[in-house]
Amino acid sequence: MNKNLRKAIIAGNWKMNKNRAEAKTLIEELKPLVANAGCEVVICVPFTNLETALAATEGSNIKVGAENCHFAKSGAYTGEISADMLAEMGVEYVVIGHSERRQYFGETDTTVNLRTKAALEAGLKVILCVGEMLEDRENNITEELVALQTKIALKDVTKEQLKNVIIAYEPVWAIGTGKTATAQQANEVCSLIRATIEKVYDKEAADAMTIQYGGSMNAANAEELVAQPDVDGGLIGGASLKAEDFSIIVKAATNG
Ligand code: 13P
């Protein structure tokens, strides 16, 4: 319940959207709207927009993230991007283990753990995604599943490294569906993730951990979600593609 011990973060996950010109336009629109944000503001963009985003956000309060990275430092991994490559560009954040990576690209808890460790070793901040499918919720195994995903993803991550980890709870059934978890459901699972962190690390680490909610968060429902005691911001898909909507969510987190 110690919200003041941790940083609220609103992060946009642009997914596979926006070409370079569109990216620049969106960032220019966003900059003045979030200039006075009382929370951390991050945009996670496609690899092809990283350079544009880094240049356009220079001198502003908007931080830039990538949407994935590989676990190897370099080598024969055609089409992949290493954590070191991102860090060298000046990228600060990276999303790891998004459910779309797990569903469509064969990511497992084990590769999520490898990628998390590689990103942390490269000095990146990790937005680690966990969350259950609708079937898991219906089978009443959300609690066990999310605890398991969290534990495996963080295997061999030190307490010091954990300071650079943000966890995003994203129920898969709420992503891009317009079906948001209720504020109570979101808080329940975020609180459970915090309890898992306390078990694996300690209370200090759990109290300091930023835990976001993600899944159809928008300008209309953000305020209630981020006001929950264990919800420290959000990971926003669709609504992060519109400057006005994203800035309203940032404002909600500022107030929450
Ligand atoms: P939507 O906000 O579009 O539901 O996407 C959520 C998400 O997957 C963020 O990572």
**What is the residue type of 74?**
S
Residue with tokens 């350079």: 51
Please pick, among 98, 100, 107, 132, the residue that the annotation labels catalytic: 98
Asked if 129 contacts 99 with a C-beta cutoff of 8 angstroms, the reply is yes
pLDDT number for residue 63: 98
Q: Which residues contact 67 (CB under 8 A, 6 or more apart)?
A: 13, 14, 15, 44, 45, 46, 47, 94, 95, 98
Ligand 1 binding pocket (C-beta < 6 A) is: 13, 98, 170, 175-176, 214-217, 235-239
CA of 119 to the centre of ligand 1 (A): 22
Distance 211 CA to ligand 1 centre (A): 15
pLDDT along the chain (256 residues), means of 10: 86 98 98 97 98 98 98 97 98 98 97 98 98 96 98 98 98 91 96 98 97 97 96 98 98 84
Cβ-based burial of 158 (10 A; exposed 0-12, middle 13-18, buried ≥19): exposed
- Number of alpha carbons in the 13 Å side-chain half-sphere of residue 180: 24
Please give the distance, rounded to the nearest whole angstrom, from the Cα atom of residue 76 to the centre of ligand 1.
Answer: 31
- Best residue among 94, 96, 170 to mutate for probing ligand 1's pocket (most ligand atoms within 8 Å of CB) is 170
- Please name which of 54, 12, 62 lies closest in space to residue 32, comparing C-alpha atoms: 62
Task: Give me the helix-helix angle, 109-121 and 142-153, nearest 10°.
Answer: 40
Look at residue 1 in the predicted model and tell me its pLDDT: 54
Residue nearest to atom 2 of ligand 1 (CA): 237
Is 170 annotated as catalytic?
A: yes
Residue nearest ligand 1's atom 7 by CA: 237
Is the Cβ–Cβ distance between 83 and 70 less than 8 Å? yes
